[in-house]
Amino acid sequence: MRSSPDSPSYVFILGESELETVPKDILNERCILANARTREKRPSNILLDASFHHAAMNKLDEGERRGRPDIVHFFLMLCLDSRLNRAGRLRTIIHTRNDERIAISPETRLPPSYHRFVGLMESLFQNGAVPSREKPLVKMETGWPLIDVVKAEKCDRLIVLDVGGICATPAEIIGSKPAASIAVVIGGFPSGSLHADLSPLNPEKLSLGEDMLRVWTVTSEMLAAAYSPIKGP
Amino acid sequence: MRSSPDSPSYVFILGESELETVPKDILNERCILANARTREKRPSNILLDASFHHAAMNKLDEGERRGRPDIVHFFLMLCLDSRLNRAGRLRTIIHTRNDERIAISPETRLPPSYHRFVGLMESLFQNGAVPSREKPLVKMETGWPLIDVVKAEKCDRLIVLDVGGICATPAEIIGSKPAASIAVVIGGFPSGSLHADLSPLNPEKLSLGEDMLRVWTVTSEMLAAAYSPIKGP
């Protein structure tokens, strides 16, 4: 594998991630109002967060799965600081449950503080770009179903990590086929599978093991495997 | 490397991590009092946190380096969910700047929510154990200099990741010598090197590259490399 002449470029896509502002249906719930008051923000401008809004979330469709900005945060911290990114071979995209597409410039240094990250994302939902529309490092667009996000990348290979996929090690997954560009889709939710049907794009559905691994474990293992072929012994 | 007959066991130690409650000297600073009031806790019972207490921290020795529970959180989430841990081959220890030693049972499931993690650590500082003294999953002891923490593990190899160490890939580091047990020390601070002199223990001082990598990048790469020898092609 290490003898591959190519150093493929990657795009890591967090698919159907649970990043959204508080939905209309629960804007007047007590825990939402209290949290918004503490944070001195309008309820409609704050991110839905399972660790603060749990009491209201059973009123939402798929409430058990939603409100997980922490997963997006972990994913981005790992991708943006990775050696793959530093080597200029990674692009990172967040796709959300409401079909937003968030593109993050590789040179972006996001705050490791969760609290600040949430503030940044809230400003992104309000303004469509941060730090500014003129020089955006993070940019959000609406109306992007996951299949369109993936299609637009026009990669040679599409790897979808899914607990029901064929078991393989990260090195096996990366090294199994030569390719100039590889899209890796990881589901941005706590459990379950993607809702989107990506089969028209002939994805390689793979899994790192029979256990349900958390997003940051899958992400970090895939980043390490993707980087190692060009730098190892 | 993959032909190694052994599956070494590992202990990952986060050394001199920046985890502490608010120091006496700044207990009466405005940002500390305000933060404690919001959280309905005594100032002396809350964790020092650079993202909330920055204004007061320039009054502290090494203020630029301190107050980083987020680093401990990321480190633990990666270690505890890793496949190395699931395979029963990892133990995880936090050592703090004030020479506390925090041992975490491998089966512990910590909250991915930063906010809840902080609450848990605050309760650990107050009670010495969580969830309870009778059945502790996380246990804290005082009076443990880093060198004693490492010595007590009696590992065959001691790897210290340091930006000034000899450059090597994670696979080279892990595979260079056969060993039944390997201690890996990673500094739990945002930049710089360990203060402790571990040279009496003949550490292998190594680095993943010339760049200053963040703790979670180093940790995730080392976890992936430590796991791969027994599972790869």
Partnered with residue A157 across adjacent β-strands are: A182
How far B70 CA lies from chain A's nearest CA (Å)? Answer: 7
Angle between helices A50-57 and B114-127 in degrees, nearest 10:
110
The pTM of the full predicted model, rounded to 2 decimals, is: 0.94
What is the Cα–Cα distance from A191 to B19, expressed in whole angstroms? Answer: 31
Peptide bond preceding A43 in cis form (omega within 30 of 0): no
Instruction: List A181's β-bridge partners, or say none.
Output: A9
The single-letter DSSP state of residue B199 is G
Query: Per residue in A151-187, pLDDT tens?
Result: 999 999 999 999 889 999 999 999 888 899 999 999 9
The CA distance from B204 to B82, in Å, is: 24
pLDDT of residue A177: 86
* A·B CB contacts under 8 A: 103
Does the CB of A172 have a partner CB in chain B at under 8 Å? Answer: yes
Distances (CA, A) of B176 to B1, B89, B157, B159, B170: 8, 19, 11, 11, 10
Nearest of B152, B212, B210, B209 to residue B183 by alpha carbon:
B152
User: Which whole number is the average pLDDT over A101-106?
Assistant: 98
Interchain contact A191–B (C-beta under 8 A)? no
Q: Do the Cβ atoms of A139 and A102 come closer than 8 Å?
A: yes
Residue-by-residue pLDDT tens, chain B, 233 positions: 333 446 899 999 999 999 999 999 999 999 999 999 999 999 999 999 999 999 999 999 999 999 999 999 999 999 999 999 999 999 999 999 999 999 999 999 999 999 999 999 999 999 999 998 888 999 999 999 999 999 999 999 999 999 889 999 999 999 888 899 999 999 999 999 999 999 999 999 999 987 889 999 999 999 999 997 654 43
Q: What is the pLDDT of residue B177?
A: 86
Sort residue B128 into left (φ over 0), alpha (ψ -120 to 50) or beta. left
Picking from B86, B220, B222 by the largest number of A CB atoms within 10 A of its own CB, the best residue to mutate is B220
Instruction: Convert the pLDDT of each residue in A109-153 to its tens digit.
Output: 999 999 999 999 999 999 999 998 888 999 999 999 999 999 999
Other C-beta atoms lying within 10 Å of the C-beta of residue B79: 26
B17 touches chain A (CB under 8 A): no
- The whole-number pLDDT of residue A229 equals 64
- The pLDDT assigned to A114 comes to 96
Cis peptide before B131 (omega within 30 of 0): yes
Shortest distance between the Cα of B44 and any Cα of chain A, in A, equals 21
Check CB contact of A37 with chain B, cutoff 8 Å.
no
Query: Which chain B residues are closer than 8 Å to A12 by Cβ?
Result: none
**A86 → chain B, closest CA residue:** B211
8 A C-beta contact, residue B142 and residue B99: yes
B223·A228 Cβ contact <8 A: no
Q: In sequence order, which ranges of chain B are alpha helices (DSSP H)?
A: 30-39, 50-57, 69-81, 83-86, 114-127, 146-153, 170-175, 215-227
Q: Is the pLDDT of residue A4 over 90?
A: no
Edge-to-edge order in the sheet of strand B90-96: B129-130, B138-141, B101-104, B90-96, B9-17, B181-187, B157-167, B204-207
Rounded to whole angstroms, the Cα distance separating A154 from A11 reads 10
Using an 8 Å CB-CB cutoff, list chain A residues near B170.
Answer: 224, 228
User: Minimal Cα–Cα distance from B223 to chain A, Å?
Assistant: 8
pLDDT given at position B176: 85
| Number of other CB atoms surrounding residue B178 within 10 Å | 12
Q: What's residue A180's pLDDT?
A: 94
pLDDT of A207 above 90: yes
How many residues comprise chain A? 233
- Give pLDDT, residue B120: 97
